[in-house]
Structure 1
Amino acid sequence: MKIGLTYDLRSEYLAAGYGEEETAEFDRDDTIDALEKALAGLGHDTERIGHARSLVQQLAVGRDWDLVFNIAEGMHGIGREAQVPAILDVYGIAYTFSDPLVMALTLHKGMTKHVLRDAGVPTADFVVVREPSDLQAVGFGPPYFIKPVAEGTGKGVTADSIVRNRKDLDAACLKLITAFRQPVLVESFLPGREFTVGLVGTGREARILGTMEVLLLENAEAEVYSYTNKERCEELVVYRIVDADQDLVVRQAEAIVLKAWQVLGCRDCGRADVRCDARGVPQFMEVNPLAGLHPQHSDLPILCTRLGITYEQLIGWVVESAQKRVRTGTTDQRIQAYAYCCGS
């Protein structure tokens, strides 16, 4: 197949004057190199597209692809991860990973927890705080855990994210709201074991790849899988493969993740995070349907490597899942067919 690559390259944004934390979710140059190499190894031809604006420009001059391998995060707006999928939907071009609805929903951690809680997926008590008066709705006691409602890569998560007294919650939330210009998610702090679970597939075909337990070393920021701990994971974190057949808690965590993945409608591949409460019971934290794909640094490829799954094999599974959505015909033919069906 002819596969286009959409992405936000961290080096480009840094060169344009954006900061290190602002660009933390964006991809490194060697991630794109690795993707191209893996796709070529699978027999596909690739073409670099780049960010959403570049995609728009190339579509406007008639560029077309059988499939777009989309890992673009987007820069602006709470629906930024939905931008590239929405553009590709307009042109009827298939792409990897989830659709605009899922991408927009899952970036907002509070909305995701609302949907999953209604579906019976266990998750910690929470309140979304947009302004100080919203704190009146916090009906559960400390300690609390706070983080920006729509960030990834641990952005905004530090040791200060654990708020141990109710009197300190107002100031802590206001600080985050001001810094990230978005609401804050306030949750009951979960003090137990933390897992990240990898998945592959869509709908009923989705399956668990495996699970890693996240263990923080003595020199790490304590009790939180923070931005700093993630950025310096090689020296601050130990990832331990755990077996659901040998560990009931892991088995429960994987069941929670698979249900959440299917309820939300996530596609192709990704991962989700689970942490245990004070009783040792796993609780859903968040899902990442657009998981990082750096071969050595991102959680999902790290998990696969520990399980003996090659990077090329992982990328192959993503393409195999997404390929089922590839439509026949050129872009012009697809647009003409759509116009005909709509009576235009």
Structure 2
Amino acid sequence: MKEFSGMGGLPRLHVAVLMGGWSSERPVSLMSGEGVAKALESRGHVVTRIDMDRQVAARIAEAAPDVVFNALHGVPGEDGTVQGMLDLMGIPYTHSGLATSVIAIDKELTKQTLVPHGIPMPGGRIVESAALFQGDPLVRPYVLKPVNEGSSVGVAIVTENCNYGSPIRSDVEGPWREFDRLLAEPYIRGRELTVAVIGERALTVTELVPKSGFYDYDSKYTDGMTEHVCPAEIPDHIAALCKDIALRAHRLLGCKGTSRSDFRWDDERGEEGLFLLEVNTQPGMTPLSLVPEQARACGMDYADLVEAILADALRGRLEERGMVKGAP
């Protein structure tokens, strides 16, 4: 780490970009990773692309990078498994560490961590999928979602007139056929909002308006299926509350680099209608992703964002050498 890359103020680094893997979010991770790799190369860094497989530790050791940019989404790249491996190897990496990753990917543990500190989150409970075929766990409408998945993977909204049946039929397609345990939460009517945090700064609020249905995996990553209103056209005090909650959740969970907090807001109830749904510790970095979009809205281009995340991962080492600017 002796030479400096041109525009970002970082020394020229050898970065292993870890992407792909075998989770349901593999395609998104590959897009995120390739975007990150190209941005780093544009700033003069040396990049080794690694599509994660079972030999990933040996491949990282062979590459011997200065730092790993973790562009994985889902398990095992976002749940603490890869973080623990890199901790044992002594290699710095981007985004949150082991303990934070274990908690944040688990929606039940996240609630147990945040709700006692006054973070408003929906109620609900964990249910065995087989029990759904006997009766509803909550009054309809309610939401069923996997406990340990992101990107709205496997989410089902159960209403009075849905096609799932009453009770839910075991032969109908839904998350109960893929996961043994699910989180059941009351359905919150209203608007989908999200806030990105980078370092110690909450950026802005985006409203997500799906063209049809709700903001599921396909709506997130298919061009044209969701309108992003950035900044969201909401009252100033609601925007300020979203940003405050996102930053508090980021700090309480111990997030590093960047995170993204997702909300539902029942606009008929004002501040009492705002609920945090989850905190994503490794949000997407694709062309359609929300964190790069919010960064642009705040005057930070994509390569600046990538380098800011990288600098946060190396902050202690770089500060010793006087080689890093303050957090964005």
The answer to whether 1:287 aligns with 2:279 is yes
Deviation at 1:299, TM superposition (A): 2.1
Deviation at 1:24, TM superposition (A): 3.4
Q: Which residue of 2 aligns with 1:230?
A: 220
Q: Which residue of 2 aligns with 1:163?
A: 159
Amino acid at match of 2:168: A
* Residues 257 and 74 (structure 1), Cα distance of their counterparts in 2 relative to 1, 3 Å cut: closer
Structure 1 gap ranges (5+): 14-21, 329-344
Q: Which has the higher mean CA deviation after the structures are superposed, 275-284 or 175-184?
A: 175-184
Give runs of aligned pairs for residues 182-331 of structure 1, distance below 5 A: 182-201=180-199, 206-217=200-211, 220-221=212-213, 224-232=214-222, 234-242=223-231, 247-277=236-266, 279-280=269-270, 281-294=273-286, 296-326=287-317
User: Which deviations, in whole Å up to 9, do the C-alpha atoms of 1:14-67 show, x marking residues without a partner?
Assistant: xxxxxxxx6334446554332122213334222223315343122565x42221
Deviation at 1:133, TM superposition (A): 5.4
Secondary structure of 1:251's counterpart equals helix
In 2, Cα distance between the equivalents of 1:198 and 1:274?
Answer: 12
In 2, Cα distance between the equivalents of 1:189 and 1:49?
Answer: 39
In 1, Cα distance between the equivalents of 2:282 and 2:236?
Answer: 28
Deviation at 1:284, TM superposition (A): 0.5
Question: Alignment identity in percent?
Answer: 26
Q: Which has the higher mean CA deviation after the structures are superposed, 35-44 or 127-136?
A: 127-136
Q: Which residue of 1 aligns with 2:33?
A: 32
Deviation at 1:231, TM superposition (A): 3.2
Secondary structure of 1:314's counterpart equals helix
Amino acid at match of 1:191: R
TM value normalised by structure 2: 0.80
Secondary structure of 1:151's counterpart equals coil
User: Which deviations, in whole Å up to 9, do the C-alpha atoms of 1:82-111 show, x marking residues without a partner?
Assistant: 222111100111100011221122111122
Asked if structure 1 preserves the Cα contact closer than 8 Å seen for 2:19 and 2:72, the reply is yes
Secondary structure of 2:238's counterpart equals helix
Structure 2 gap ranges (5+): 1-12, 320-328
User: Which deviations, in whole Å up to 9, do the C-alpha atoms of 1:137-177 show, x marking residues without a partner?
Assistant: x98643211112222222112xx513348x96752799645
In 2, Cα distance between the equivalents of 1:169 and 1:260?
Answer: 36
Q: Which has the higher mean CA deviation after the structures are superposed, 45-54 or 145-154?
A: 45-54
Instruction: After the TM superposition, list the runs of 4 or more consecutive aligned residues in structure 1 that deviate by more than 6 angstroms.
Output: 172-175
Of Structure 1 and Structure 2, which has the larger fraction of its residues in helix? 1
In 2, Cα distance between the equivalents of 1:30 and 1:257?
Answer: 26
In 1, Cα distance between the equivalents of 2:18 and 2:141?
Answer: 41
Secondary structure of 1:72's counterpart equals coil
In 2, Cα distance between the equivalents of 1:322 and 1:169?
Answer: 49
Deviation at 1:131, TM superposition (A): 4.8
* Residues 244 and 212 (structure 1), Cα distance of their counterparts in 2 relative to 1, 3 Å cut: same
Q: Which residue of 2 aligns with 1:67?
A: 67
The answer to whether 1:4 aligns with 2:12 is no
Computed over aligned residues only, the root mean square deviation of the Cα atoms, in angstroms, reads 3.3
Asked if structure 2 preserves the Cα contact closer than 8 Å seen for 1:125 and 1:187, the reply is yes
In 2, Cα distance between the equivalents of 1:124 and 1:290?
Answer: 22
| Count of residue pairs brought into register by the alignment | 302
In 1, Cα distance between the equivalents of 2:180 and 2:254?
Answer: 25
* Residues 74 and 256 (structure 1), Cα distance of their counterparts in 2 relative to 1, 3 Å cut: closer
* Residues 131 and 226 (structure 1), Cα distance of their counterparts in 2 relative to 1, 3 Å cut: closer
Deviation at 1:135, TM superposition (A): 11
In 1, Cα distance between the equivalents of 2:137 and 2:237?
Answer: 31
In 2, Cα distance between the equivalents of 1:216 and 1:74?
Answer: 23
* Residues 101 and 34 (structure 1), Cα distance of their counterparts in 2 relative to 1, 3 Å cut: same
Amino acid at match of 1:225: Y
Asked if structure 1 preserves the Cα contact closer than 8 Å seen for 2:95 and 2:256, the reply is yes
Secondary structure of 1:266's counterpart equals coil
Asked if structure 1 preserves the Cα contact closer than 8 Å seen for 2:20 and 2:30, the reply is no
User: Which deviations, in whole Å up to 9, do the C-alpha atoms of 1:185-237 show, x marking residues without a partner?
Assistant: 11111112221111101xxxx111111011233xx11xx212232233x3221
In 2, Cα distance between the equivalents of 1:250 and 1:5?
Answer: 34
* Residues 123 and 29 (structure 1), Cα distance of their counterparts in 2 relative to 1, 3 Å cut: closer
Amino acid at match of 2:245: I
Asked if structure 1 preserves the Cα contact closer than 8 Å seen for 2:95 and 2:255, the reply is yes
In 2, Cα distance between the equivalents of 1:172 and 1:188?
Answer: 20
Asked if structure 1 preserves the Cα contact closer than 8 Å seen for 2:207 and 2:232, the reply is no
